[in-house]
Structure 1
């Protein structure tokens, strides 16, 4: 039997605090594992970065993270990061297993009845060839609208912390997702940024008509569970379940939020 303190942690990585949507699901499926949550808040938001500089930053950051935390697996809970740097991470660190986050275009194409699907993402994810390839591979029979929001990730960070945000401002960001074509309407919106599911109830209230808001967090967590060995008799280890912020200085509201997710900071 493996002692609890020998279990390696699961590292969950995001540009900010949106990856907590994935962490929440992963904890349910992997209760015996400890978690290290890493928020690259010093570089947030990723969507506005130049691609080469951002990839270089992510690779450099993971060199340090893997050496310091020695995780069992890394979950990249960020569409922008994984669609840009996922292949490079796997090439540079072949001994590590990376579970990525990509826009849920395939399940959306399988579920839609109207054939009108929108992908709500960051500008970086919308620009990525990876996203276009997913559409070509799985959604050629659908009309897919890519909506790159400049502001929604920042709004989500504020919303998660309990700060007020304007209904009109949110509606302006999601309105392009809603398409009417002949007698059909958009019936699925893919939430292609892990920040966005935190705002799903707000989106539902403001939407001009009901749609299925597709959150990939559970599917990502299931994939991570498949990759992590389940050890009989293992107990949840001490010393993990903490959050790392690359700024080194999360504010009080963020620290309180981490505590709500059972994560230590500092």
Structure 2
């Protein structure tokens, strides 16, 4: 490791993982970030779980053939929910950090005892999420409740860069969630796409003071702890330019790095299928 920056792979089905990329960039200033968007298969939220596990396995094997990853971050709730256990079993030598809806901090933050979760159908329907939900509620205060809604169409609108459509969907999904559970005071953004439109969420929350919970910073802290030894070894070694790859056309990710991260010179390479 000495003399070179650790390589951190950041995976998402599309552009949603840019919210996690941003947090990792701050927490790991000397790491080389390698981003892979599986936009040829996006959105993941409505794909069968077994097909996703097979897809993830093939992508990570190919990735490791190209780059000596020191850490992999699954910056996608759906990929984590359906695939992280299989990936860890296949790659025991590779530290893998997943992301999941931040129920624990939300239940710690709520004053009313009612927490709302907006996520994809695949995430909400996964066994991993259901186990997380049960464990969190078992340790929560008496009377605590978690209310979910599948935010259909929202990740796709953000993927397209359609801010008007995304804001309309934020409003409609939040309204439906609050209509069903009006006491909610804390909202978990359960898909990495969603924090990219924080302005839309704040506009949608007008008149409903809600605490918004984004797990990206917790993921970055976990990544930092796993790479602490490597970071100490390389010190101020140059991290190089971030790597950007996708499985479909590069236009969406190129646009998204400018739109959501303010990067004007990111060069995205499309992988050969």
TM-score, normalized by length of structure 2? 0.88
Which one of the candidate residues 71, 74, 80 is aligned to 1:73? 71
Contact 1:177-1:189 at 8 Å conserved across structures = no
Task: Check 1:20–1:236 CA distance in 2 against 1; reply closer, same or farther (3 A cut).
Answer: same
Q: Unpaired segments of 5 or more residues in structure 2? A: none
2:53 to 39, 52, 55: 55
1:116 and 1:241, CA in 2 relative to 1: closer, same or farther beyond 3 A? Answer: same
Q: Deviations over 1:186-218 (max 9, x none)?
A: 001101100000112211112251101101111
Secondary structure at the counterpart of residue 204 of structure 1? helix
* Other-structure match for 1:226: 225
Offset from partner CA, 1:100-120 (integer Å, 9 cap, x none): 001101111111110111110
Q: Distance in 2 between matches of 1:109 and 1:35?
A: 32
Instruction: Look up the match of 1:264.
Output: 267
Looking at structure 2, the residues matched to 67 and 53 of structure 1 have their Cα atoms a distance apart, in angstroms, of 22
Aligned to 1:176: 176
Secondary structure of residue in 1 paired with 2:239: coil
Which stretch of structure 1 is more off in the superposition, 192-201 or 136-145? 136-145
Aligned to 1:125: 123
Deviations along 1:158-192, whole A, 9 cap, x unmatched? 3xx365427444322222332576xx710011011
User: What SS class does the counterpart of residue 165 from structure 2 fall into?
Assistant: coil
Mapped to 2, the partners of 1:219 and 1:25 lie a distance apart of 9
Q: Which aligned pairs between 1:13-52 and structure 2 lie closer than 5 A?
A: 13-52=11-50
Distance apart, 1:60 and its partner CA: 1.1
Distance in 2 of aligned mates of 1:246 and 1:83: 21
Query: What is the root-mean-square deviation of aligned Cα atoms in Å?
Result: 2.0
For residue 90 of structure 1, give the secondary structure of its aligned residue in structure 2: helix
Partner SS state of residue 139, structure 1: helix
How many aligned residue pairs are there? 257
Distance (Å, rounded) in 2 between the aligned partners of 1:24 and 1:92: 28
Q: Say whether the 8 Å CA contact 2:116–2:146 is kept in structure 1.
A: yes
| Residue of structure 1 aligned with 2:152, choices 142, 150, 156 | 150
- Do the aligned partners of 1:258 and 1:264 also contact (CA within 8 Å) in 2? no
The CA distance in 2 between the partners of 1:236 and 1:166, in whole Å, is 37
Q: State the secondary structure of the residue aligned to 1:101.
A: coil
Q: Where does structure 1 lack aligned partners over 5 or more consecutive residues?
A: none
Per-residue CA deviations over 1:44-86 (Å, capped at 9, x if unaligned) read 0001101111111111111111121111100000010001111
